[in-house]
A and B are shown apart, each in its own frame.
Chain A
């Protein structure tokens, strides 16, 4: 799940919507689905240096369709049909600091683009690419933020199809859904450069690949998303879609992935997520839940979610137009675990954006 993009530029009806049953072929469906309006490849992970210095990282590529029809006659090849945005954030847990950067380009003239037969998406020099044996390479960096990464990821668990055979409902309308696939555990190795120093790192990452055209219901103002690996070998993804009054939308959902690859789909009724305290951003004034209590009785879970870095707010207004919180978290309670949490719609409502 993710924060998203540019204002809608054309009516949603002309874009294809995601409906069950979903038939996918790989590696083609790791690639882009340009007939859908919105798509993202969202990598989060926790890595450490040989001496144990820990970093969280996030690298996301967004594809936003701007114009669904064929190009009009005489259109410039620069005429924007898709925009590619990307966010890079590295949480330096030792320094308690988040470095982030962003890119945005129209998918044209080779400066930004995507492929359909396989996963390859890039904007300027940043790129994410799938190789033989589902190995992924990530490359991104920014001089102003003084951060870069060069990582190789290999899945150690099979691909998870969330929801109803990969169709994740987000709203009441039939089209309010996205195709949602996840590699919950990817063995990660490579280098991370932070503040001018390059560290060899290893760790574990998480990749969400999601696409659709109109996902959120009209009443949803934001969401809280969590993707964590539990110490007992299970993996957990939950999202709570928040309504204006603070209550959870009935389309909130989640997935428990067992070590053998079998999954347990969770509905809104299975989830109880309540903030325990808040952190207020000094820059935007937005108040984000800083500790949360998550109870999933069906999975025997009652845990407290604690951010490893309080200030993980990302101002992505120049590229995707939103402000959100995205950072590494630790779980404690009935079982421990760690992963990434995303909190959106706290700085302003997301209604109408998705």
Chain B
């Protein structure tokens, strides 16, 4: 079976002023459908860059990235937009809910961007993340844990084949962090989506089927 995500010898560099910083180098990674992989490593090791490449918000400078059959190096802006819109769900560390939309509207946003409407699906996900009673509230009125549960629902509402989560619990205390991750895992299993999780917390990473360590933009291979 073809993997949903395939990275081959991927490199990525950023230019800051005169200096060039290598964010990724020679990263090769495969992700099967429904699989959960955790990327671990210290800050600046390239976890977020990898996730950005997988979610199609960024493109590689070298190597090949294929997500759900889309070659990111050759994809145009339109293809990237469609990839993000239909195949990928993202959970951010900083939640990034749209402040002026209600819980319900935030969750419905990915569908709306695609010109779709599915009230039942939205209601189902909201109630599965346990926020049915708060569906008309605005993000500012929610706790951090609640906000991230909304983000989880939003990441899954359009039945993506890949979900990326970048330090999804980084802004939460450990109890609510664990709860959110549990919820995320449970939901994506139910939906059959692959999950890539970036975290520096090895306890959280333990839940993954594979744990890959990163350092200085390189993949160190499976860690025990």
Verify whether A and B have any Cβ pair under 8 Å: no
- Measuring CB to CB, which residues of chain B are less than 8 angstroms from any residue of chain A? none
- Measuring CB to CB, which residues of chain A are less than 8 angstroms from any residue of chain B? none
